[in-house]
Amino acid sequence: MNYYHSWLKKRLILASRGYGRMATSNTPPQLKPAVGMGPDLRGYASGRYRDNLFLAAQTELRWYFWWKFGVVAFAGIGTTTAGFGDLTEGTVLPSYGGGLRFLAFAEQRLVVRVDYGHGNEDGQIYFSISEAF
């Protein structure tokens, strides 16, 4: 689920996302929900944390300050666990970071982005031709 709110003629945007994915205990390990395999939490190597249940929430503030250039700051938290009954036993996964944006086509909100996300162990650099979510 995504939520967006903008101010200043869409030059300042608050974007929030809640994400969840669940698998059964019979699901093969390589198909179980994993951190870093979609628009969930930045700062984690793809598939490093994997279990039957993955939940995450994140928010970012996007500010287009001059012409088509912008910056973003983001933070989020998530968990991987065996199931809803084990939520207090799950791995807590914080995420935070920032990035640069270039708004290539304003009508379509198409951006070129470079982000640095930091997790609980190390960080990752992301380059993409789209927003994170």
> Where along the chain do its domains lie?
2-128
Mean pLDDT, the chain, whole residue set: 93
DSSP for residue 12: E
3-32 pLDDT per residue, tens: 999 999 889 999 999 999 999 989 999 999
Low-confidence stretches of the chain (pLDDT < 70) are: none
Q: Given this model, what pLDDT does residue 89 score?
A: 87
Instruction: Report, at the CATH architecture level, how domain 2-128 is classified.
Output: Beta Barrel (2.40)
Q: Given this model, what pLDDT does residue 12 score?
A: 96
Distance CA 133, CA 13 (A): 12
Q: Given this model, what pLDDT does residue 88 score?
A: 86
Distance CA 72, CA 24 (A): 36
Write down the residue that tokens 């929430």 correspond to: 57
